[in-house]
Every structure is written in structure tokens, then in C-alpha cells.
A = this chain, B = another copy of it.
Amino acid sequence: MSSAPAVKHSFKEQMLQAREDAIVQAALRLLAHKGFETMTVDEVAADVGIAKASLYKHFPSKEELAAAAMLRLLRQAQAFLQGQPADHGPLDKLQAAVRWAMALQLAGDMPALPSRNSSLRAALMAHPACLEALAQIGELLGGWIAAAQQQGRLNPRLSATAVLCILCARACDPALEFLQAGGQLSDADTIELVLGACFEGLSARQP
């Protein structure tokens, strides 16, 4: 992180960093496909092409490894959100965010939410970096929600917190998987359908 000398990182350090990146990436992939409990450290190591013991030189435990993977995902989400054009409306940016997450899930690259008793959740909550990333994402989305409500585009009877919770839940909406299993729709159509139902509701409008 300190950058006083012009070239601080040697080749070796770069290689190490790259390897660590590969490990985290593989862990994220497996986490999304199999879940924390089912995923094994052996699989992650095999996916990267190194021995399990080498992996344990980088991460002290399976939980820490998974937490690093989740942090990577949070950072990707942050990057996507911050990359939203400033001239877009807040509602458009919110919908773009949900679309991004839904596409991830349909591709099978979105890990399931860690359940209440999962050791993964404890590891996440113990990681300051994860908590900070979560908080920053929450603040960013919260600002857009408030702005959209002020524009009269979102239901004003819902608190910003409630909208935030619901949007986060929709990002992992299992309805996507159900519809995809039916096989009638393209992925893009599936996303638009579920997104539309989320914002417009299931009931008929103008009663």
C-alpha cells in the first residue's frame, strides 16, 4: 500500500499477488456454484493448480478464504455502482444495479446468502473490510433510493431501509432460477420479467 519508492513490488511479489488473486477467483466461482459448506479447499486448490498446503500459506482457514472471495464480489459490486453515469436518474441506476446482480445469478456466479448459522456469516461479520464495503454499498444505494423517492418515482410509503432490504433480496432472487429451469425465456427476458414484477408489482395497475 505504501508507494514511496518508485518500484516497490518485485516480480516475486507480483507473482504472489497474482496467485492470490487466482485463488480468490476460484474460491468465488466454487462458492457460487456449490455453496460454502459443499465447497472443499481441495477443490479450490485443484482449480488453481496448486497444493492445498500452499493455499493455506495464503489464507489461514476456509472461512477466511471464503470471506476474501466475498469481499472480492463486494468490491466488484462497488466498482459497478461507482461506474454508473452521473447523468442517469437514480431509479435507472437502482434498476441497473439489480440487473447486474441478476445477470450474475443467472450465470451461476452469485453465491447464496450465508444462512444464519453458517460459519461463513460469522467470518464476514468479523472482517472490517467486508463490513466497510457493505456499508459503502448501502450508503450509495440509500442515496439513490432517497433521490428516487424525492422524484416521486418510488413508493413514498416505504422507508429507504425497507427498499434497500428488498432490493438486496431481489439481487439473489430464486425466482430467476425457477424461471430459467422452465426454459421458456432467454436470460435477458427472465431478468426483465422479474425486475418488472419487483418494481411494478404483481397486481394489475390502475384498478
Contact = CB atoms under 8 A, between A and B. Distances in A.
Nearest to A37: B37
A187 interface: no
| In the A-B complex, the 4 residue pairs with the closest CB atoms | A201-B201, A169-B175, A37-B37, A165-B178
Given A37-B37, A118-B35, A204 B165 contact: no
A153 B203 contact: yes
Copies, count: 2
A159 B192 CA distance: 13
Contact of A155 (B91, B175, B184, B200): B200
Contact of A177 (B116, B153, B156): B116
Interface residues of A, number: 50
A34 B37 CA distance: 11
A172 to B, nearest CB: 7
A163 B204 CA distance: 12
Between A158, A203, A207, the greatest number of chain B beta carbons within 10 A of the residue's beta carbon is seen for A203
A135 interface: no
